[in-house]
Amino acid sequence: MRVLGIHHGHGAAAALIEDGRVVADVAEERFVRVKHYSGAPYQSIAYCMSLVPQNDIDMVAFSSHRRPKAWALDVLAGAAPEYRPADWQRRLPLYFPSFTLRPDVQAIFVPHHRAHAAAAYYTSGLDPAARTLVVTMDGSGDDDVANAIWRGEGGKLELCYAGGQGTSIGWFYSNVTEALGWQHGEGEGKTMGLAAYGDAEDARGAFDGLHPRFDHGAAVEEHDFGPISCATVSGANHWHLRDSTTIQQLLHKHAREDLAAEAQRVLEHQVMAFVLPWLDKLDTQTLLCSGGVFLNVKLNQRIWSSGRVKDHQIFPNPGDAGLAVGAALDAYHRTQATAEIGALQDVYWGPQYSDDRIEAMLKTRRLRFRRRDDIAADAASALADDKIVAWFQGRMESGPRALGNRSILASAGRAENRDIVNERVKQRETFRPFGPSLLAEHRDEYLLNARNEEFMITSFDINARKREAVPAVTHVDGTVRPQMVRAEVNPLYHRMIQNYGELTGEYLILNTSLNVRGEPIACHPRDALRCFFDSGVDVLCLGSYLLSKEAL
């Protein structure tokens, strides 16, 4: 059974599910090169459909409780005829993709937060008989829900609690982000990174009356966020709420980093008061999370460090770009009630490019390059020589993190490498931290109280003995946000880090996404070339081909 999942809006994306297994998932931003693209995912749908023989789709799942938008009727001819107006006619230019589906294809509509919950639950690998707490939190979905509690049991999701926009702790954190000068729905990671440099006590209570409050698993005080303005610029949404103006005035009284620290404290305190009581209410120690709030790796660490949770998983694409996967999985499990719950092994679900195709492109551009028999050894040697390496291999990752297929890499052994990569390559604020990729078998050498974390979605305290050995990835608060690399999941990347470890004694490297500030992660080899030539990267490993600026 094949299900096509579609999300239209902020983080537009499409996904393909076959018999409950994710086959493809890609955000439209990677194709159109506009971060958080908010239009229709034409090219994402086309990519998914390229993997399907003769457009053989059984269901189309939309991440919304509403009928599909007009563009969907244009692109997916034959689907859901009951939703087509009598006077329907093709409105798109002929050169846009179009797919004729079987007349019996079902259209399924999955509310926003249910899609978030399904993404987390149906990729958890849990025994369906086990009782599981699933929590979804974001700014607000099109179902007017900001926070929801679900019970996963018997392979089904049951809604236990839903809070509207007045309970949105996500909106609050985004308002602080906007007040600090960063984009709502994009810059929250900057607020989190800056928070580690501040003292929440110096701004304690600054946000009183500007956020909802939770106690015993429910909102006990909602907040009126007022009207929500949205401007769409170059295909991306830019939101504005009135509280951001009020918070901006607080900068006259408090330091930026102290306000960020207080915002982080408020977020953690309120989410803990919402989430943890439900573990007792549902009598479980298993917690699954999704929704944009759970992109906050410090919050995720706080929940894990509470000691209340034994099995803690965060869907690695928890923002709105993960809704296409969730909608498709929910639709599949509605019709296959006894199907097993699949375990997430990786998120390498995007396009890949053969060596032949890469070589032809390099020759067309008349670039100097070398084909290498062991590109992993070459990359490891360059990293050991303190070179900055762009690494483009295999299928592109789904989600906001580069996980060793579309990465920029550097040695973590020199503290100055953090600033060098921020300034020369990423062209972003110097306070922003980088995460490491480390071999999973060396996890406990580097991390304290850690669980398996292969998707850079939770931070952990670093072992004091290793803090000085890998300063470029150790945040000022003594934490790191790791990707643990397993040989059976990504053998080439694992071998490269293994080679680096044999040269240096450290089985951990700095890993950040293959892009510069403001751009999506590289998808096509041309995106990697643009980043290589427009930044301070020294070496590009593009498939089996090596390009070095020293050789140019």
Residues labelled catalytic: 10
- Whole-angstrom Cα distance, residue 497 to residue 494? 5
Contact 108, 58 (CB under 8 A): no
Q: How far apart are CA 307 and CA 452, in angstroms?
A: 16
Give, as one character, the DSSP assignment of residue 489: T
Q: Beta strand pairing status for 286-290 and 132-137?
A: parallel
The answer to whether 353 and 543 have CB atoms below 8 angstroms apart is: yes
d(CA 187, CA 174): 8
| Whole-Å CA distances, 268 to 7, 145, 433, 462, 465 | 29, 20, 20, 20, 28
Beta bridge partners, 14, equal 6, 26
Gap between the Cα atoms of 463 and 59, Å rounded: 48
Q: How far is CA 449 from the centre of its chain?
A: 23
d(C-alpha 73, C-alpha 483), whole Å: 40
CA dist., res. 247 & res. 223, Å (int): 15
Name the 3-class secondary structure at 261.
helix
> CB-based contacts of 35: which residues, under 8 Å, 6+ apart?
29, 186, 236, 518, 519, 520
- Residue of 224, 363, 340, 217 whose CA lies nearest to 287: 217
The answer to whether residues 203 and 258 touch, using CB atoms and an 8 Å cutoff, is yes
CB atoms within 10 A of CB 104: 9
Q: For residue 126, give the amino acid letter.
A: L
Tokens (6 digits) for 354: 């053969």
What is the CA 319 to chain-centroid distance, rounded? Answer: 6
Cα-Cα-Cα-Cα dihedral sign, residues 411, 413, 418, 423: negative
Q: Give the SS3 label for residue 346.
A: coil
DSSP class per residue in 120-143:
HHTTB---TTS-EEEEEE-S--TT
297-305 and 188-195 helices, crossing angle to 10°: 60
Q: Count Cβ atoms below 10 Å from residue 348 Cβ, excluding itself.
A: 19
Residue-wise DSSP of 395-448? SPBPSSS--SSEEEEE-SS-THHHHHIIIIII---TT---EEEEEGGGHHHHBS
Rounded to whole angstroms, the Cα distance separating 437 from 214 reads: 36
Cα distance between residue 184 and residue 143, in whole Å: 20
